[in-house]
Chain A
Amino acid sequence: GNSVTQMEGPVTLSEEAFLTINCTYTATGYPSLFWYVQYPGEGLQLLLKATKADDKGSNKGFEATYRKETTSFHLEKGSVQVSDSAVYFCALSGPPGTSYGKLTFGQGTILTVHP
């Protein structure tokens, strides 16, 4: 079956530091890959996505590249802000035509950014 493995947290950074959160996956075929963010007390918001190999998703300064050869989708941001403090989930769906869009999530990484 499908699975997603995220680096264990929590991650604590100072403002303007560089962020990397590692994510690797196991799936048949070509799944779609996502990063979701969850702020305290809220639902999940889609941060970025990629649907095929070598696609780069980007949003709000965050980036992730779909690497088929290493089955990875690592999240990066060049300069984090206090407002980026949240829980980040890597997720996949697919491959196409299967699983009805069911999302398989990683365990989540808690990010705390200090001023």
Chain B
Amino acid sequence: DTEVTQTPKHLVMGMTNKKSLKCEQHMGHRAMYWYKQKAKKPPELMFVYSYEKLSINESVPSRFSPECPNSSLLNLHLHALQPEDSALYLCASSRAPYRPGDTEAFFGQGTRLTVV
């Protein structure tokens, strides 16, 4: 199994809603990532979890709240988003965050989020 599975694939939410994005991998990877990608742009890192601990938060607004319940799961909780938060949200995982060859990242298909 070399897949990273993200659900849902599409999400439309209002600015007062609370929703969650889910990401799952069963490759035994110990680093997991959330990226945000706007149209025609490269992905931008939001968060890194290393061995289930939050290691990097790229100054992301608090309306985005990550959670790593175990080594296979990564969630992104959304609350009071703005229309400019509409984007493709990508989850990725890698074997480990430190050694060459271990940082190869496998990406999920993404969640296309629209905030109305």
Binding site for B on A (CB under 8 A): 30, 32, 34, 36, 42-46, 49, 51-52, 89, 93-94, 96-97, 99-103, 105-108
Contact = CB atoms under 8 A, between A and B. Distances in A.
Given A44-B43, A89-B42, A103-B43, A97 B107 contact: no
Given A46-B104, A51-B100, 6 more contacts: A43-B109, A43-B110, A44-B92, A45-B107, A89-B43, A108-B41
Contacts of A30: 100
A108 B43 CA distance: 10
7 contacts: A52-B100, A89-B42, A97-B98, A100-B50, A103-B92, A103-B103, A108-B41
A108 B40 CA distance: 8
Given A34-B104, A94-B103, A106-B42, A100 B97 contact: yes
Nearest to A90: B42
Interface residues of B, number: 32
B106 interface: yes
B110 A94 contact: no
Contacts of A101: 31, 33, 48, 50, 94, 96-98, 102-103, 105
A64 B98 CA distance: 23
B110 A93 contact: no
Nearest to B6: A43
